[in-house]
Chain A
Amino acid sequence: MRRRAPAGRDWYRDAVFYEVHVKAFADGNGDGVGDFVGLTQRLDYLKDLGVDCLWILPMYASPLKDDGYDIADFYSIHPAYGTVEDFQTFLDEAHARDLRVIADLVMNHTSDQHPWFQASRSDPAAAYADYYVWSDSDVRYREARIIFVDTEKSNWTFDPARKAYFWHRFFSHQPDLNYDNPAVRAAMLDVMRFWLDRGLDGFRCDAVPYLVEREETSCENLAETHAVLKEFRRVIDQEYGGDRVLLAEANQWPEDVRPYFGEGDECHMAFHFPLMPRLYMAVRLEERLPIVDIFTHTPPIPPGAQWALFLRNHDELTLEMVTNEERAFMYYAYARDPAMKLNLGIRRRLAPLLDNDRRRIELLNSLLLTLPGSPIVYYGDEIGMGDNVYLGDRDGVRTPMQWSRDRNAGFSAADESKLYLPVIADPVYGYQAVNVAAQAGTPSSLLNAMKRLMAARRTSPAFGRGSIEFLRPRNQRILAYLRREQRDTLLVVNNLAGSPQPVELDLRSFAGSTPVEMLGRTRFPTIGEAPYFLSLGPHGFYWFRLERPDGGDEPYGIEESAI
């Protein structure tokens, strides 16, 4: 089967990403933990789903105190997930299917088990002494906030071996690397080269705002940090032909994220964090303002740059990027049980967040796939998997993928007590009810609906590359926007409300064009001078391509006498 994979150096602008945790996807050796052998066996599923690029969560050797974001050796694969050879096979098999792969890379810090840190703490005079940020006191950089407020009291922790404090923006077992040290920058570039040489298509760069520290600043988004990223980009572009991508994780306001694109010479992509909670807010409020508002505050980005959009990911649904008032509303609306809260966020999956309401799940996905940026689907959300809020930290949204109603949801042949986390087994979201095998065979399933949406998205470059222009119909419950790219004009109309809504759209500038619905290919009445009237069912949406009268409807000059 042939399919057009997004080609060219800026492939990521058309791609649909799929975020997957190796340990959670498929267990190839029956030890209860997912691995690269299992993931390789499931590549056809991902291809069939219609994704273009996988984003692999940290796969490196690690004590796993922070689910792999505490890397103990950048050059090896965690033994539970396989070997570098297994990874290579996986990567080659993915490429054979026109699937690309990016991997998480934690740049800001390492595990305290990393040999660099062990050397650094044991011998203040040795080569690795300055690989980390050390201080004799715990009062420097006091302006920097504490991110994991639920577990950490300070950004400094005393190390009895070196008898000094080391700096950590995250957990105290994750010492920050010292990017003022040229040897650290060179060492990280070598790490990247090692994986890029194997064919990896890029990195999701974890926690990039925190690379460099300066006194009397928040120690976030500093110019020195941007300089480091620009250096990495320049070297990678130079050595790898310019089609490897850097995706920045900077949980910041859009105007603060904007510098991570540089002038097209820093990161290729960055997450749009503030949009995500506002999508939920808009659907809960049944009103478009939160979404339109955040885009009004989203600055333009350089040519070739791209936002990464997501509904959910492996972390809590983060509410750092909302106001206190908005946060209170979100807790009220989406996390009535305090167990659902974590740090400044809500640790739930997509389907439970939306009360398993199929209409709202599809609507949110319609927004994800049509707003400007490249969408990222979190594994399991395509079948509406549930979560388990009673598991610790963020584990509740990292449970095994549900493949079938077989033992362990078809995820592993191991004894169930050996699974890294229990499968979801509640009566609503349990694997007996929610699984790939059941949904694959049901044309109306969420899985198949997702496939259709992704296939429709693939038919126009305007979704990934087009400009956005919001329409302002009087009905505030309708979010309607135009996406334009060269001759392709798309009109997306979403009903944020749970009740049927009418809307009149001012489409006079498209008079004569015909909206063609992209999922069913139905031709709607031609646009005239009068307001264009549509009615939408509860949480309904339309994706239209506007066919110009001169774009296919006008005669070719042969049809009058073609026979």
Chain B
Amino acid sequence: MFCSAIRNILRNSQNAAFTSQIRNLRGEQSTKHEISVLASPSTSIKADDKKKEPAEHEGSNKVALDFGNREAHVPSFNLAAYVNNSSTLQQLISLGVDLHSIERRKGLGDFVLKLDFEKNVKPFITFLVDQGISPDDFGRMFTKNPLLFKEDLDDLQTRVDYLKSKRFSAEARQRIFTHNPYWLMFSTRRVDRRLGYFQKEFKLSGHDLRLLATREPNAITYNMEHLRKSVFTLKEEMGFNAKELSALVVRKPRLLMISPDDLVERFSYVHQDMGLPHTQIVQCPELLASREFRLRERHEFLKLLGRAQYDPQKDLYISPKTIVEGNNFYFIRNVAKSDLETFDLFLKTR
């Protein structure tokens, strides 16, 4: 759906020359108050044949447009009030950008309102398309980070080239940009410093570092203070050694973004109540990524059934990985081999 929208927009851009002509005719009207009629693709094409007598039509246009202009002067708390009068906002909506969530963040509403689609947005779309990003993701990306339009295109190209020079594959770059729209905002120097920090802190090889960055691009650009705290928690409070830590982080980089308090709570449950050693936790870091109550429910249910046996050397071994996998129904059927009613009754005694 969005693909076709993009195609429409790009097709319209071929009429750009004509559009600018009309805009000149309507000279004194500012772009912000530009009528919606002009923006919609169908009308601009239709209007094409009437180019011969523009002066006459211009007059009728102005009369019709008076409504829109008057509305736009009313001060508003949200972008929705301007949507009918601004072609840029309309194009953004057709891209799937959520204006509602943009306007809730400070200053971004003003910024988006002042954008001009042809001038500020389109070059970036072409740039992103060149990077191989699917148009379906544009809406989500621009919603997350509309400030991308503020950046210089040459800078962005440099940042992409930097990743290329670090031998990130095309797919990896694509994944990084779609999953973390803020990545492109970071200067090359800063990204380099971050990657350096990760490589040094966890003693990663180049391949592992690329794997980590691709798996969870958000971890690289995350709040540095928080990252340091998480590393401290993992290393000092939980006592993973350097080798285990790097394995853990590469397998589940998301652990670095979880709040340290939660992490310690989960770890203490897994380590003390479920009795799993560090080596086994490193084997399945999903345990630490799952919420504590979920672990608790499932482990205690298994214990009640007498199936909580996590030692691979013995019979009736249950892999800790399967505990956190899937929804409750899957867990009860395939891991606990019980039924949902029993599980519900069990939960109602907690």
- Are chains A and B native binding partners rather than an unrelated pairing? no
Residues in A lying within 8 Å of B, measured CB to CB: none
